[in-house]
Amino acid sequence: MDLFSRSWTALRTAVADLADEDFERPSGCTGWLVRDLVCHLVIDAQDVLITLVTPAETEPTVDAVTYWQLAGPPTGDDPLDALIPRLAAAYGEPWLLRFHLDDVGSAAGRAAELADPAARVSTRDEVLTAGDYLCAYLLEWTLHHLDLIAHLPSAAGPPAETLAAARASLEKIAGHPFPASFSDEDALLIGTGRRTPTDAEKAALGDFATRLPLILG
């Protein structure tokens, strides 16, 4: 729960510190500008709020690892993916996106701090504990923080402890560790297809390289 709060606070702070012109730069999400990614974060924050107030009475069906499903590369056919750039453009001014993310994002952060980790919640037709749900979102926030700063070298990155936790989560999803020579950031970027491994990195990955990238859905 504490790592969730750290990762979400760091990500929202990074957005708040962006210059207006940064919103028009590309992000690490293929086809999305930074403004599109920030708009997606607003929707993610809404999802957190909705899920944390959607109790479930049945036993958990997934946990922080099995919550994630491996999917194929984005095709551009998903209606929500197509909506995001149009919705982001409709904000017009960067300050409106900053304001909306701060408003909804702060509420999501408070809801997470108040949540009972053992409480069962429902989302995506699955049931899991609030603690596992927030742990799953730690990976989401960390990856999107890396997406946010992909072309902004002066921007602050995710905290070291959340990078390490996100790497551990991705390794559990993969069922295989990344080479110890990989930094946490490189493991996340290469593991999810955000960066192509070098020849040396492919050699270090060995047969594991054939199972990458892991596209999380």
Where do runs of H (alpha helix) occur along the chain?
2-16, 34-52, 79-90, 94-114, 130-148, 160-174, 184-191, 199-205
Task: Give tens-digit pLDDT for 160-193.
Answer: 999 999 999 999 999 999 999 999 999 999 999 9
Task: Give tens-digit pLDDT for 35-64.
Answer: 999 999 999 999 999 999 999 999 999 999
Task: Give tens-digit pLDDT for 119-144.
Answer: 999 999 999 999 999 999 999 999 99
Inter-residue contact 33 to 23 (CB < 8 Å): yes
Inter-residue contact 86 to 95 (CB < 8 Å): no
Inter-residue contact 28 to 194 (CB < 8 Å): yes
Residues in the chain: 217
Task: Give tens-digit pLDDT for 75-96.
Answer: 566 777 789 999 999 999 999 9
Q: Residue 3: which residues within 8 A CB-CB, separation 6 or more? A: 135, 138, 161, 162, 165
3-state secondary structure of 179: coil
Letter for the amino acid at 206?
Answer: G
